[in-house]
Structure 1
Amino acid sequence: MHSFPRPQNTHLHVTPRPVDGDCPECGAAELAEYRVLSEGGWWEVRKCRACLASVERRPGPPFGAYAPLGPTVAARS
């Protein structure tokens, strides 16, 4: 049995971070950055909020927002 509570939200929500620049597809000045889960894992993307054109896409952290405990625990000797 798990000891953590079940989430109350039915959907995940990410707040996009606005960035400067114009969309190369439609010319709108509505670029934003945010993290998405897609084929190949997590990605940090920069997209146009007006036409959804992808301006930049780079690999994100392997586990998204989850930080595994293992790397932070010091080995005992």
Structure 2
Amino acid sequence: MSEPTHEASRLEVERLPREGACPRCGKEKLRAYPVVAETGWLHVVKCQNCLHSVERERWSRLGHIQLLADLV
């Protein structure tokens, strides 16, 4: 059995387009997607040209995984 290639094991997240221009570089290349940071998971809107964070909103502590304890 052969080893998977780097391309086959690559994970990607869907980056949803957002309207508007980046306040830093002026490009209209805003995308929304989840990221993990030192403070935990966040929903962000970032410019894909200069990577400036336009919005950063805290998400659940485990991202896509929702614990029953978090619902109470």
CA drift at 1:62: 1.6
Supply the distance in 2 between the matched residues of 1:59 and 1:20 (Cα, whole angstroms). Answer: 21
Give 2:17's aligned residue.
Answer: 18
Ranges in structure 1 where 5+ consecutive residues have no aligned partner: 1-8, 72-77
Aligned-residue CA RMSD in angstroms?
Answer: 1.4
The yes-or-no answer on 1:42 pairing with 2:41 is yes
Using the size of structure 2 for normalisation, the TM-score is: 0.76
CA drift at 1:66: 1.1
Give 2:50's aligned residue.
Answer: 51
Using the size of structure 1 for normalisation, the TM-score is: 0.72
Partner secondary structure for residue 57 of structure 1: strand
Moved beyond 6 Å, runs of 4+: none
Supply the distance in 2 between the matched residues of 1:22 and 1:53 (Cα, whole angstroms). Answer: 11
Supply the distance in 2 between the matched residues of 1:66 and 1:51 (Cα, whole angstroms). Answer: 30
